[in-house]
Structure 1
Amino acid sequence: MNFKELLTEDRAVSPVIGVILMVAITVILAAVIGTFVLGLGDQVSESAPQASMSFDFNIGADSGDYVNITHEGGETLDNSSISVDADSTLTYQSTPSQWSDTISAGDTGVFTGVSNGDTVRVIWTNPAGGSTNTIARATAPQ
């Protein structure tokens, strides 16, 4: 056996690399197409909106215990997908509030019934799938 000939022989390298590349491309294409055919591609792009909220608690005030939640900036929110939750039962006050069908920067919602130490959360519910995300939270002073 001539070792010099064995080390210089490279005829089989090119077909092997070609087969490996073809298999890799096929696997990648199958994964991408399968993701979108099964509908997983739509769920990946659905994420909670980015919005900044501020909380102004008025507890022990003469006019009752309430919290003002103001949309400070970020994406405009659809009011039908937003809910406000707390440890106590909150009531939305429509008269001084500015929240309508959409909630944009500068709009304020007023909620009564907040108590000392309550954690108030603004929750977004995905209209396509029902998953929820807390986009803002604050705790009332003690």
Structure 2
Amino acid sequence: MSPVIGVILMVAITVILAAVIGTFVLGLGDQLGDTAPQATFTIDDNSSQTINITKTGGQSLEAGDLVLSVDGERVNTSFPGDTWETGERKEIGNGDSGLSDWDSGEATVRIIHDPSGNAIFERTWDFS
């Protein structure tokens, strides 16, 4: 009876190894570590000079992993601080951003999780 159990275990180990190796060979393993975090935000009290964004929920975020985009252009500044916790408000100034067209009316504001390349927040805002 023990030779049968040994063969079954060897087949199971072979199948598991083949699945793991196949996953990484096909590139699926690279995508597993680059998932975007889950968080919610609100935009408030903005003007043509600043964008104020409050994190309203979700997991803690590394501020250095986040990029602000206005109408598809990445802002040339980072979010202040090391982490972004729920309830915290971040302010990005237009003068620091390298962009000069926030006062042109409506713009699409995005927060992009840079390691994964995914937008984790998107909203149209009127800067006039």
TM-score normalized with structure 2 length: 0.65
**Structure 2 unaligned runs (5+)?**
1-10, 95-101
Unpaired segments ≥5 residues, structure 1: 1-23
**RMSD, aligned α-carbons:** 3.4
Task: For 1:57 and 1:35, locate their aligned partners in 2 and report how far apart those are by CA, in whole Å.
Answer: 50
Please, which of 15, 22, 25 is the counterpart of residue 35 of structure 1?
22
Q: Would you say 1:46 and 2:34 are equivalent positions?
A: yes
Structure showing greater Rg: 1
May I ask how many residue pairs the two structures share in their alignment? 109
Relative contact order, higher structure (CA 8 A, sep 6+): 2
Distance 1:35 1:45 in 2: 17
Equivalent pair of 1:55/1:68 in contact (CA under 8 Å)? yes
**1:57–1:121 Cα change, 3 Å:** farther
Q: Is contact 2:108-2:123 (8 Å) kept?
A: yes
Query: Residue 107 of structure 1: CA displacement?
Result: 1.3
Correspondences of 1:9-28 after superposition (within 5 Å) = 28=15
- Percent sequence identity over aligned pairs: 29
Aligned counterparts, 1:74-89, within 5 A:
74-87=58-71
| 1:124 matched residue in structure 2 | 113
| Structure 2 equivalent of residue 134 of structure 1 | 119
- How far is the alpha carbon of 1:112 from its aligned partner? 3.1
Structure 2 counterpart of 1:71: 55
- What is the distance in 2 between the residues matched to 1:89 and 1:46? 20
Mapped pair 1:106 → 2:106? no
Which residue identity does 1:135 align to in structure 2?
I
TM-score by length of structure 1 reads: 0.59
Q: How far off is 1:65 after superposition?
A: 3.4
Q: What is the CA–CA distance in structure 1 between the aligned matches of 2:75 and 2:12, rounded to whole Å?
A: 56
